[in-house]
Amino acid sequence: MPRKLTLTLTMLTAVILLGVLPLQAADYAQFDALIESKDVGKISRAIEQLEALVSKDPSDGQALWLVSKAYLYLGDRTEEGRLEVFEKGKEYADRAVEVLPNSPDAHYWLSALIGRIGQTRGILSSLFMVRPMKDALDRVLELDPNYAPAYWVLSQLYQQAPGFPLSIGSKKLALENAQRAVELEPGNLEFQLQLARALDHNGKKEEARALLQKITADPKLQADPDLLREVEAQAEEWKR
């Protein structure tokens, strides 16, 4: 083959590769945006497209943990068959952990789905799910000590689980983990709400209500109807 043609083909291949890789990365971000929209139609579309990717390449770990996340978001917005939706998501999360054992995201979404399955099945199942859920969260923080959502979930776990000897419940650890999550992502209103709840759980009622008022006044809250309803429900509960 003439040298000039060889160079031309080599350059063309490089251009194609450079073009494909950013596109692939942008696709993942696009899928995540569809999931984060919290719109059932968009979440379902993300699931369909991600499952197509996984079908073509079962070793696509990022697609695996993204589709597990999508099933969690879908399950939160599903009434009939919710448990099956969460269990499907966990299947993908398990596969993601196998493919990407050093991915904090894979372990995080596995922990979240374990928790959802436990909550959906009932109190006894929730208790049995505490240890594997915490193990997955511990692994997240082992891989990335600054993974803020893991501290947020750990705070909820310590707050909601019964204390010793039944389980790992701890007011002190619930507060410490909520504070760490907010320290890492101070603008995250979900993390702030959990901190308010942990403060109340620790008897710091004035601080908790002051923080809830601050959350309510934040303009960003209006952009998230689900969180807005949660904040309003918490405010009503604390008025009683």
The span from the CA of 222 to the CA of 231, in Å, is 11
Furthest C-alpha separation in the chain: 84
**Per residue in 166-193, pLDDT tens?**
899 999 999 999 999 999 999 999 999 9
Over pLDDT 90: what percentage of the chain? 80
**Per residue in 208-224, pLDDT tens?**
999 999 999 999 999 99
pLDDT at 164 over 90: no
- Per the structure, the complete domain to which residue 137 belongs is given by 42-145
- Count of structural domains, the chain: 1
Q: The domain spanning residue 111 has which CATH number? A: 1.25.40.10
Determine, yes or no, domain membership for 217: no
Provide the whole-model pTM: 0.86
Determine, yes or no, domain membership for 56: yes
| Distance of alpha carbon 84 from the chain centroid | 18
Are the C-beta atoms of 234 and 212 separated by less than 8 Å?
A: yes
Determine, yes or no, domain membership for 169: no
Q: Which residues contact residue 229 at a Cβ distance below 8 angstroms, ignoring those fewer than 6 apart?
A: none
**Per residue in 26-44, pLDDT tens?**
389 999 999 999 999 999 9
